[in-house]
């Protein structure tokens, strides 16, 4: 999820260490000193090629092979070296070299978790269940990748959980997922690829996927919490089935919005409770760390374990990702889901379906902000079960939207549909109101009329994929 031979890249001139990126082009050789990091930003729609000529280098804990060409598309990332390295970079990007990083603290965190895994292996118990919290753009996902990659390099198989519906992990945004990582993280693909992505030199991952369909947990907490609970049940069941996953434990990513206000702390508590979290990593916020200490200092998990809190500094390489960049990233992810990428071309299937053959449910959004204006201590009335979704017919407003195809029956209750996993997604290419027919794009040729379809507001309607 290109560079000319300029001063400051291991040549005679001093290395630039400021956080202001410099736009560069063509091809260049980068000489990185030990314990330094080359940070780069590639615009959406552009790409660069990177090759390690000598030394050792890694991206978020995954070591790069010597003399292998890696291609990066529309991303903001960094390459770190413990012992020094020499890189060849081709393409246009913004880049700079940083000599101060929090990598020592991050790798120490990994070794502390590894010690807990060794203890769990000896005792036949579950490994650490780690929750990563922090404000938006504080580097939570990057830290998750690093801890996951280091665990894999130690022979572990951590269960990686994503509770941030704004970004997808091996799935389209709008989903909550859990995936056991037993093989290397594909540095070019972000987290790697799932079976829908087609053939890959790196083994695909098999995510447990549940659909929330809204941008923020606070958009509808009465929907988010049950979906999260179902994800936690599936994740804990997965751990119980595999001793390697059980000993390796969980790494849980969270949306930044729940770390930026008191309202989100209730959701953090829900995650801690449902996943039996026993370690919380607080990234980039002293106030949040203080709040978490007050909230969980006396808390005990279902196994009577105390919660360990660790505060970590935000990396200087973390940059704000504006709305335009994030929207383009989502559009690229959706396009790749249906059509593949430059290395793997997919052939999606188009089908015409009658209005009457489809069962579509639209997610009802609730505005929780009004709860603050209710009389002292009063809570909103609990909605009835049928208010989870609203049955709707296709309309022209659905054009360019995604529909989640659920592993459920048309006769199932709305709660059963909510708790079902996601079979896949279809794209509404065209709606003909006069003929009452819908043209749908799906990754494979399969029958979808016998499954309930869910329409959410996230991800938002994308550009036309059929142009």
Annotated binding site for ATP: 37, 76, 137-142
- In Å, the largest CA–CA distance within the chain is 72
The DSSP element (H or E) to which 95 belongs, if any, is strand 93-98
Q: Where are the alpha helices (DSSP H) in 137-253?
A: 140-153, 221-241, 243-248
54 token code pair: 């000598």
Q: Is 96 left (phi over 0), alpha (psi -120 to 50) or beta?
A: beta
319 token code pair: 């940059």
Q: Tell me the CA distances in angstroms from 283 to 77, 132, 136, 147, 289, one per residue in order.
A: 18, 7, 10, 14, 8
Q: Tell me the CA distances in angstroms from 10 to 15, 34, 48, 428, one per residue in order.
A: 7, 12, 20, 52
Q: Which among 95, 88, 2 has a CA at the least distance from the CA of 52?
A: 88
Q: Which among 140, 148, 209 has a CA at the least distance from the CA of 181?
A: 148
Cβ atoms of residues 341 and 181 within 8 Å: no
**Sheet of strand 76-81: strand arrangement:** 22-24, 93-98, 36-41, 76-81, 58-59, 62-63
């Amino acid at each position: 999820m290109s560079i000319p031979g300029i001063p400051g890249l291991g040549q005679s001139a001093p290395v630039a260490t400021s956080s202001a990126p410099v736009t560069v082009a063509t091809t260049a050789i980068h000489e990185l000193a030990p314990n330094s990091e080359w940070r780069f930003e590639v615009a959406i729609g552009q790409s660069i090629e990177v090759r390690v000529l000598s030394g050792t280098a890694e991206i978020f804990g995954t070591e790069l092979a010597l003399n292998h060409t890696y291609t990066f598309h529309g991303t903001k990332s960094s390459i770190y070296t413990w012992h020094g390295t020499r890189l060849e970079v081709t393409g246009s990007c913004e880049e700079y070299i940083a000599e101060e990083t929090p990598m020592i603290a991050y790798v120490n965190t990994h070794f502390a978790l590894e010690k807990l895994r060794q203890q769990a292996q000896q005792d036949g118990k579950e490994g650490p269940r780690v929750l990563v919290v922090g404000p938006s753009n504080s580097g939570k996902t990057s830290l998750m990748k690093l801890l996951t990659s280091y665990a894999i390099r130690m022979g572990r198989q951590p269960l990686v959980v994503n509770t941030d519906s704004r970004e997808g992990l091996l799935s389209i945004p709008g989903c909550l997922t859990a995936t056991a990582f037993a093989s290397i993280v594909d540095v070019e693909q972000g987290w790697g690829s799932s079976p829908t992505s087609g053939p890959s030199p790196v083994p695909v991952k098999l995510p447990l996927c549940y659909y929330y369909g809204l941008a923020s947990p606070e958009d509808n907490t009465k929907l988010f919490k049950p979906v999260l609970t179902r994800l936690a049940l599936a994740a804990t069941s997965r751990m119980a089935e595999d001793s390697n996953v059980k000993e390796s434990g969980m790494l849980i990513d969270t949306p930044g919005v729940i770390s930026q206000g008191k309202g989100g702390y209730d959701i953090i508590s829900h995650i801690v409770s449902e996943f039996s979290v026993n370690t919380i990593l607080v990234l980039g916020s002293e106030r949040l760390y203080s709040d978490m200490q007050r909230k969980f200092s006396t808390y005990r998990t279902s196994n009577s374990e105390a919660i360990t809190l660790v505060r970590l500094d935000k990396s200087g390489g973390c940059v704000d990702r504006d709305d335009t960049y994030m929207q383009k990233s989502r559009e690229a992810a959706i396009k790749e889901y249906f059509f593949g990428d430059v290395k793997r071309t997919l052939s999606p299937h188009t089908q015409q379906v009658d209005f009457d053959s489809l069962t579509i449910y639209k997610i009802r959004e609730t505005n929780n902000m009004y709860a603050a204006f209710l009389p002292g201590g009063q809570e909103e009335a609990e909605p009835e079960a049928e208010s989870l979704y609203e049955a709707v017919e296709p309309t022209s407003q659905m054009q360019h939207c995604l529909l989640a195809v659920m592993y459920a029956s048309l006769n199932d209750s709305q709660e059963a549909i909510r708790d079902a996993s996601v079979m896949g997604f279809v794209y509404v290419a065209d709606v003909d109101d006069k003929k009452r027919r819908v043209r749908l794009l799906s990754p494979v040729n399969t029958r979808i009329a016998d499954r309930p379809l869910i329409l959410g507001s996230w991800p938002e309607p994308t550009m036309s994929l059929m142009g």
